[in-house]
Chains A and B, each alone.
Chain A
């Protein structure tokens, strides 16, 4: 479904991604871990089109998307959930959903705001909100939500826009332990819907719950790419997070 081939990204001479190569098949859930600054978010920005790759190719659903602008990548089914909450805080929850639905199904004619299409889009938005228990707050500003609720709204919105591949950048960051379970539940729901998921997380124990595969990035390179159990047991993971034995002694 998604193939990255020898992807390189540099910022002002600093090489952030150095020949990243891996593939993700349809319906797979892949975790991406690595220490701070290893290039995880840059990798997502590069896949989403917010950062240009200096070389390498990016194929999504058998199409080369390397040169496509971000909005066209999104239209082709790439969904992005941002680490710093990508919702529109100044809008209501309903409007947040409507923007996504209108992008996918087409907008109602502005001269006929009470048209059938407008009503249909609103009913659909409310049904999405209802599924995650946010329908009661439909007409409240999104800024009034808790971190967990914001995350639920953002993932639901990405679902509403019709994404096939979800790029979840630390979906539990800024989320209370109680709401974390709700975020896990919605990720599991995406899995049952057959969606493909790439998820950045720091906690390998957490992503072990739903990832069939884990990719470890370090200094912009793929160091490990295996099932979570084997990655966890691999000595190289400890080296990356805690340094080599001899370094630890010194």
Chain B
């Protein structure tokens, strides 16, 4: 019994739980645009980065309190999405994906090359853990408790959004845009809202990520990270709330048994990527008609 308790409260288990929480927020927020809205948004990781860097800069340079940093990250990522949406939402289907990917590359380049602000590839170290209600958040178990509150609140909010009239309108325009327009729905406005909420969610995840690691650098926000979040949504079935929750837990934990095998650490990372890539390819191939339905037009 005590062994079980020890295993549950071990740093390793807590780390996995924090990761699950982070990816739950990231995947569920991407699910709003990619799943419900069928927008092939490849700039989600850029919103995640914007949120993380906003918190990192405010917490280290301006020594801003936790709530200010989190709120600023959420809003900055949301506004970033509105700016991106003003351009990218004019593009259709595949061009939208290319447009968001290009935007993501621009953000990635800025993180590396705007050294005076982002410190380039060296990243931003020394992000202090927040000091809330006297709790020692330098203890990972305490941080996990804080994280859990954010995860539950965001999951409930996303659940309400999914089943709300807004979610319904988003699903409708994704299925048949002209029919939604013919019912008087402003499809561009709905997509902008979806983009805002989705990006704000990524911004929150970025903020929590920065606090958790106390250090961020551009390598955490690579295209590989974007592909992993996308894999979660695809495996969980785009648009499915519970599917994405299950897929997040499954995919975050899936490569963990590899750690206990006698595998050279040089092969561990690529092995993990190989598992994810194989899974992504298999699901896309198996469910291609569901994932990429024929667009209906007048």
B is bound to A: yes
Residues of A participating in the B interface, judged by any CB pair closer than 8 Å: 41, 45, 48-50, 69-72, 74-75, 79-80, 82-84, 86-91, 95, 98-100, 102-104, 107-108, 110-111, 113, 157-158, 161
Q: Do A88 and B182 have beta carbons less than 8 Å apart?
A: no
User: Knowing A50-B298, A99-B185 touch, does A70 contact B178 (C-beta < 8 A)?
Assistant: yes
Contact mask B101-142 → A, CB, 8 Å, 1/0? 000000000000000000000000000000000000000000
Residues of B participating in the A interface, judged by any CB pair closer than 8 Å: 160-161, 163-169, 171-172, 175-176, 178-187, 296, 298
Closest to A74 in B: B184
User: Knowing A45-B298, A82-B179 touch, does A88 contact B163 (C-beta < 8 A)?
Assistant: no
Which chain A residues lie closer than 8 Å to B185 at the CB level? Answer: 71, 99, 103
A56 CB, min distance to chain B CBs, angstroms: 20
Q: Do A113 and B168 have beta carbons less than 8 Å apart?
A: no
Q: Do A89 and B165 have beta carbons less than 8 Å apart?
A: no
User: Knowing A50-B298, A110-B160 touch, does A95 contact B181 (C-beta < 8 A)?
Assistant: no
User: Knowing A50-B298, A70-B178 touch, does A107 contact B183 (C-beta < 8 A)?
Assistant: no
* Alpha-carbon distance A107/B165, docked complex (angstroms): 6
Q: Do A90 and B175 have beta carbons less than 8 Å apart?
A: yes
Which chain A residues lie closer than 8 Å to B178 at the CB level? Answer: 50, 70, 82, 86
Q: Do B168 and A86 have beta carbons less than 8 Å apart?
A: no
Which chain A residues lie closer than 8 Å to B171 at the CB level? Answer: 88, 90-91
User: Knowing A71-B181, A75-B184, A110-B160 touch, does A91 contact B168 (C-beta < 8 A)?
Assistant: yes
8 Å CB contact of B182 from A74, A90, A91:
A74
* Alpha-carbon distance A51/B186, docked complex (angstroms): 17
Q: Do A103 and B298 have beta carbons less than 8 Å apart?
A: no
8 Å CB contact of A113 from B163, B176, B187, B298:
B163
Which chain B residues lie closer than 8 Å to A158 at the CB level? Answer: 182
* Alpha-carbon distance A95/B180, docked complex (angstroms): 12
